[in-house]
Amino acid sequence: MNADHPMHGVAPEPGVRKPDPVLIATDLQRSFGGLQAVDVKHLEIQRHTVTSLIGPNGAGKTTLFNLLTGFDAPDHGEWHLNGGPLVGIAAFQVARRGMVRTFQLTRSLARLTVMDNMLVAAKDNKGEGLWGALTGGWHATEHANEERANELLERFGLEHMTDEFAGSLSGGQRKLLEMARALMMNPEVVMLDEPMAGVNPALTQSLLTHITGLRDGGKTVIFVEHDMDVVQEISDWVVVMAEGRVIAEGRPEEIAKNRTVIDAYLGEQHGEAAS
Amino acid sequence: MDWGSVFIDGILATIGPVTAAYAISAIGLNLQFGYAGLLNFGHVAFMLVGAYGMAITVDVGGPLWLGIIVGILVAAFLGFLLGLPTLRLRADYLAITTIAAAEAIRLVVRSSWAQPLTNGVFGIQGFADSFFDLNPFPPAELYGIGSLVVTGRKLWVMIVGWTIAALLTLLIRRLINSPWGRVLKAIREDEDATTSLGKNVFSYKLQALMIGGAIGGIAGMLLAIEQQNVTPDAYLPQVTFILYVIVILGGAGTILGPIVGAVVFQFLFFTIDALMVNTQANIGWVGDLLTPAAAGQVKLVLVGVGMMVLMVFRPQGILGSREEALIDER
């Protein structure tokens, strides 16, 4: 274990405190009818790391994402971004405060061009207000935004698609566009909901490079994933959920050996069947 | 069979103030439906409250200019009232609410309970006098070329109507080509994605509903002024659907679509109308087969068939881009 590792010395146990958490959730609960979809006692996300959230289907990962980003309201609990409480804050305001999410099913704005997809994400454009739109004076901001968009599109290999409709991109290009678009907001925390779902192996590799690139560029990345191998490769820290709870946390190599995690993934009977 | 008079009738109806009013109303609906993706199935209600807002204000003794301001404000306020409870919900709720509200408002206006204010089914007259006092053309004089002539009175309403339509088109163009318009289009494509990009989707939808509603109110006022009369039964639900036909025909989500749609629709509608009247009068067996009452229905059937043909061969409308229409929403 490398002493430079950001998670050096953090104990691999659920709910453990981190040295410099950007996001802290406490007692977060959400139920749908009789089903307790999320029941997280305590969870901290370390700044400037790639934290992956794994767990079997129905473990509550996406629901937790929805709660943290304001797309769903919890029955109970509180959570803070950089010490600021996010309880009762609307989803669009959570995004403005620097925590941006993507969706499991890619949401490109199909009948907008790739450039418009990027520009719509930019913050603080006074032309987005009705008064500003009527009176003008937003073109300088627009040009600056276009420059930034071009840089990002180049970084994600989409510069040749700038004027195409987003709906005409391939599935993989849409994933890249969604990531680039999220960055247009200059977020502090990027939350990716299964970015690797339905993506071919070559693109998976490129997406992984982009994700670590985000961290190296000073962002905190949280992403949901099924595939343990993918997680091993790029995560600094892994949080495992099952039945709405955080059942394990730790460095990837620790998680791979964790008995509880193996049970959750393969079912508790697998050991008995073998014996 | 007099083809000349068939086309003259068609053209006169097409350039007339009623077409201008439909074009204006469609501009409002296009902002809501074509750009923001809002399913407002009660657009006629905005026209109604605009017209009545103006007529009642003048009727109780206010000046016409105040009536026009009241009409615009009341129509925008209706958008606020309808949007507040429904725009946070799924799109269908707005559709249900607006279609029901439009009929409810019409029935309330024509009820005996509202008669002291609205004069019930008889409607309100005589509110437009000060508008026609401003008419620079002698009202009975004929203007035009050949047999294509309109009275000075009609010419005045036409000029005002089409000027308003042009100004509103410029206003919408400015709005749509701004970052504000881009957010609106983003909402049409995907509300959740737009929310995740830090935009207050609810606020934008409410703004679109209110501005589109106010524009609908202006159209209602123009129609009332042209007819110098407001009656509740001029605001039946089918007006909304004719407006949808106009918006889709012209090309939903295009700047000039509502105007092109209104002109083409009115021209076809009234040419068919004149054609049928003409054949009934001049060709014996058609007159025997088609009574004037049946002819009205047949006209609507032809409009329906025309819409179906359009949807099959040109789903994007006259001005819409084919490339855009073919994008599937994944």
Which is higher by pLDDT, B326 or A245? A245
Tally of residues, chain B: 330
The partner residue sitting opposite A112, judged by closest CB among B186, B195, B199, is B186
What six digits make up the tokens of B146? 């050949």
pLDDT at B303 over 90: no
- Please state at what angle helix B237-250 crosses helix B43-59, rounded to 10 degrees: 120
Q: How does the average pLDDT of chain A come out, rounded? A: 88
Q: Where exactly are the structural domains of chain A? A: 21-108+187-274, 113-168
Residues of A in contact with B199 (CB under 8 A): 92, 120, 128
Q: Which of A137-146, B111-120, B282-291 has the lowest mean pLDDT?
A: B282-291
Are B196 and A112 inside 8 Å of each other by CB? no
User: Which residue in chain A is spatially nearest to B197 when comparing CA positions?
Assistant: A121
What is the C-alpha separation between A50 and A32, in angstroms, rounded?
Answer: 30
Q: What is the pLDDT of residue A275?
A: 37
Q: Over pLDDT 90: what percentage of chain A? A: 59
Q: What does DSSP say about strands A220-225 and A50-54: parallel, antiparallel, or unpaired?
A: parallel
Mean pLDDT computed over A14-34: 90
Q: How many CB pairs under 8 A join A and B?
A: 119
Are B175 and A96 inside 8 Å of each other by CB? no
The band of B279, judged by pLDDT with boundaries at 50, 70 and 90, is: confident
- Shortest distance between the Cα of A83 and any Cα of chain B, in A, equals 20
B329 CB within 8 Å of a chain A CB: yes
B187-197: per-residue pLDDT in tens? 999 999 999 99
CATH superfamily of A21-108+187-274: P-loop containing nucleotide triphosphate hydrolases (3.40.50.300)
What is the C-alpha separation between B119 and A252, in angstroms, rounded?
Answer: 78
Q: What is the pLDDT of residue A273?
A: 43
Q: Are A80 and A99 in contact (CB under 8 A)?
A: no
| Residue among A96, A104, A99, A24 nearest A61 (CA) | A104
Q: Are B179 and B191 in contact (CB under 8 A)?
A: no
A110 CB within 8 Å of a chain B CB: yes
The band of B3, judged by pLDDT with boundaries at 50, 70 and 90, is: confident
The band of B273, judged by pLDDT with boundaries at 50, 70 and 90, is: confident
Q: What does DSSP say about strands A84-85 and A245-250: parallel, antiparallel, or unpaired?
A: unpaired
Are B174 and A133 inside 8 Å of each other by CB? yes
**Secondary structure class of B87 (helix, strand, coil):** coil
Residues of A in contact with B174 (CB under 8 A): 133-134
Q: What is the pLDDT of residue A272?
A: 47
Q: Where exactly are the structural domains of chain B? A: 3-326
What is the C-alpha separation between B165 and B30, in angstroms, rounded?
Answer: 13
pLDDT at A274 over 80: no
pLDDT at A219 over 90: yes
Q: Over pLDDT 90: what percentage of chain B? A: 65
| Residue among A226, A242, A244, A209 nearest A52 (CA) | A226
B173 CB within 8 Å of a chain A CB: no
A119 CB within 8 Å of a chain B CB: yes
Q: Which of A74-78, B203-207, B299-303 has the lowest mean pLDDT?
A: B299-303
A16 CB within 8 Å of a chain B CB: no
Which is higher by pLDDT, A201 or B102? B102
Q: What is the pLDDT of residue B90?
A: 83
**Count of helices and strands (H, E) across chain A:** 11, 10
Q: Which of A89-103, B147-161, B301-315 has the lowest mean pLDDT?
A: B301-315
In eight-state DSSP terms, residue A113 is: B
Q: Which of A268-272, B109-113, B233-237 has the lowest mean pLDDT?
A: A268-272
Which run of H or of E encompasses B299?
A: helix B292-313
- Tell me which architecture the domain covering B3-326 has in CATH: Orthogonal Bundle (1.10)
pLDDT at B163 over 80: yes
What is the C-alpha separation between A218 and A36, in angstroms, rounded?
Answer: 35
pLDDT at A15 over 90: no
Q: What is the pLDDT of residue A264?
A: 77
The band of A269, judged by pLDDT with boundaries at 50, 70 and 90, is: low
A136-172: per-residue pLDDT in tens? 889 999 999 999 999 999 999 999 999 999 999 988 8
Among B171, B176, B178, the residue to mutate for chain A (most A Cβ within 10 A): B178
- Would you tell me which residues 163-222 of chain A have a C-beta closer than 8 angstroms to some C-beta of chain B? 165, 167-168, 171, 174, 181-182, 185
- What lies within 8 Å, CB to CB, of B295 at 6+ separation is B276, B277, B280
A108 CB within 8 Å of a chain B CB: yes
Are A111 and B328 inside 8 Å of each other by CB? no
- Would you tell me which residues 129-158 of chain A have a C-beta closer than 8 angstroms to some C-beta of chain B? 129-130, 132-134, 136, 138, 142
Q: What is the pLDDT of residue A58?
A: 84
pLDDT at A108 over 80: yes
What is the C-alpha separation between A66 and A97, in angstroms, rounded?
Answer: 16
Q: How does the average pLDDT of chain B come out, rounded? A: 90
What is the C-alpha separation between A78 and A110, in angstroms, rounded?
Answer: 35
The band of B236, judged by pLDDT with boundaries at 50, 70 and 90, is: very high
Q: Which residue has the tokens 């089914």?
A: B121
